[in-house]
Amino acid sequence: MNYQEKVWKVGAWVGVLLVVFLAILSIKELRSISYVGNDSPIMTSISVNGKGEAISIPDIATFSFSVTENAKTVQEAQTKATEKTNNALKSIKAAGVDEKDLKTLSYSINPHYEYNQIVCVAYPCPQGKSVLTGYDVSQTVQVKIRDLSKAGELFDSIGSAGIQNVDSLSFAIDDLESVKAKARTEAITDAKAKAEILAKQLGVKLVRITSFYDSSYEQPYYYGREGMGGDVMSAKAVLAPSPEIPTGEQKVTANITITYEIK
């Protein structure tokens, strides 16, 4: 085969490929012409909201207590604060609280200043000044109670240890996720039922779920702080009965939105 024949064959193949390419391009252009003047296809859909609730009795409680002691030196203040805190923890553990349910939330050491005002005997009057008089050591401990029947006893034990600053008692569900799941299941069932009714009213059919949104939240029950301040904590000294602590209920609400494709 001479050189001219090779060139002719290469040119022929190039020509064939060019024809095929132009044919494919023409087909695509012809298909696009059929859509000229028409709106793009719109996916039709409906969205429905579903709501579910689950109510459960709290099975754990938490509260915190604080100890603050002042002394001339850091070591003295720490010793006083540690002794009082340890006495309180000893009483709490004796009531059945495990070590794992005790947690220090904060521990601080701060200088303690007092402002000394100098008596003015002649004008101009000298200014007073802040004088370092010692140090404050503070510790805050959080306690988790799993046996709620012992809540009153625990408060008595705290009072007998000389702790006055007790607050933030709240009740919760230990396995909250299971309660959330129950509420969410109820919400999904509610939404599906609404979707079926709506589709029937509109004369359409549900094809598939295209989106799901969960905006659930829980509503915890909190026991108020009134009636459990310093007076209640010191009532042990006069042998007052242990306070009864109502736990109430905790309601978990699930709010979901489901979007369906319809036809």
- The distance of Cα 125 from the centroid of its chain, to the nearest Å, equals 56
- pTM to 2 decimal places: 0.56
Tokens of 243: 């306070």
Residue 177 has pLDDT above 50, yes or no: yes
Q: What is the pLDDT of residues 204-240, one digit of tens each?
A: 999 999 999 998 764 544 333 333 333 333 333 333 4
d(CA 89, CA 158): 8
Residue 81: which pLDDT band, with cuts at 50, 70 and 90? very high
Q: What is the pLDDT of residues 154-172, one digit of tens each?
A: 877 787 778 878 887 788 8
Residue 85: which pLDDT band, with cuts at 50, 70 and 90? very high
Lowest mean pLDDT of 70-79, 104-113, 186-195, 225-234, name the range.
225-234
Residue 88's closest CA among 62, 61, 64? Answer: 64
Residue 252: which pLDDT band, with cuts at 50, 70 and 90? confident
d(CA 138, CA 107): 6
pLDDT on residue 229: 37
Mean pLDDT of the chain: 78
Most confident of 17-21, 116-120, 185-189: 185-189
- Show me where the domains of the chain are located: 1-40, 43-57+175-224+248-263, 60-172
- The distance of Cα 128 from the centroid of its chain, to the nearest Å, equals 48
Residue 261 has pLDDT above 90, yes or no: yes
More confident residue, 3 or 62: 62
Residue 182 has pLDDT above 50, yes or no: yes
Q: What is the 3-state secondary structure of 134-162?
A: EEEEEEEEEEEECCHHHHHHHHHHHHHCC
Q: Which residue has the tokens 């007052």?
A: 240
Residue 141's closest CA among 83, 187, 183, 89? Answer: 89
| Cα atoms in the Cβ-side hemisphere of radius 13 Å centred on 228 | 23
Tokens of 36: 């000229």
Q: What percentage of the chain carries pLDDT values higher than 90?
A: 39
**What distances in angstroms separate CA 168 from CA 9, 98, 179, 250, one per listed residue?**
91, 20, 23, 17
d(CA 258, CA 192): 8
d(CA 202, CA 198): 6
Domain 60-172 superfamily per CATH: Protein of unknown function (DUF541), domain 2 (3.30.70.2970)
Write b or e for each residue in 87-100: b if 16 or more Cβ atoms lie within 10 A of its Cβ, otherwise e. Answer: bbbebbeebebeee
CATH number of this structure's domain 43-57+175-224+248-263: 3.30.110.170
Residue 139: which pLDDT band, with cuts at 50, 70 and 90? very high
